[in-house]
A and B are shown apart, each in its own frame.
Chain A
Amino acid sequence: DTAVSQTPKYLVTQMGNDKSIKCEQNLGHDTMYWYKQDSKKFLKIMFSYNNKELIINETVPNRFSPKSPDKAHLNLHINSLELGDSAVYFCASSQGRGQMGNTEAFFGQGTRLTVV
């Protein structure tokens, strides 16, 4: 059983298109994240949801819109894709401790997005 699964694994699309990446976790965690890994391998958080509520929203263009239908799912929709959006996007989950911070995070296998 895959703990954190993302689809698709690869996504090649043209500039200007809209695309979505889906993420599901079966760990029973209440907190989920989206991270972006750039070409230099740097991993930076984009969003975090706790029990379907947005709790972290970094400086990300509003073309990126996360959506959490329930605490096991966190999807990422990207409008009007640009060349600079090409990267690997990772979903992750952890069991938050409320206001005291987070426990161990587990990552999905990543979605390699290429905008041409």
Chain B
Amino acid sequence: GIQVEQSPPDLILQEGANSTLRCNFSDSVNNLQWFHQNPWGQLINLFYIPSGTKQNGRLSATTVATERYSLLYISSSQTTDSGVYFCAAAPHSGGYQKVTFGIGTKLQVIP
């Protein structure tokens, strides 16, 4: 199955700093999502982005499908951004494909 690798595994930021999280995947994809799992355990959809660039407030994401990676940018980080960020992907091939998650990037934003 598809391999999804995320980096870095852990990240500590000072409030107000910017950061980039990376997701590499081993196969071409037709589904690529970024999630934020907050400290209460909720999985919140950030972006559905199998290709291209999207922005939502201080967050933006870019997927370069041909090079098999996606980036999540967090600008002017806030303490509420703390949690685990997951990348999840499903390969572009026939049949029903399961979404495979990376191990996540644990982000801690300190005041």
Which residues of A are in contact with B by a Cβ distance under 8 Å? 33, 35, 40-45, 48, 50, 55-56, 58, 88, 90, 96, 99-107, 109-110, 112
Contacts and interface: CB of A to CB of B under 8 A. Distances in A.
Contacts of A96: 96
Contact of A101 (B88, B90, B101): B90
Given A43-B86, A90-B43, A105 B96 contact: no
Given A109-B41, A109-B42, A110-B42, A101 B97 contact: yes
Which size bracket describes the interface of B in this complex?
20 to 34
A10 B86 CA distance: 23
9 contacts: A40-B103, A41-B104, A50-B96, A56-B96, A101-B96, A103-B48, A105-B31, A109-B42, A112-B41
Main secondary structure of the interface of A (DSSP, over half): strand
Interface string B87-109: 01011111111111101101000
A112 B41 CA distance: 9
A106 B84 CA distance: 17
Nearest to B106: A41
B45 interface: yes
Contacts of B82: none
A44 B41 CA distance: 15
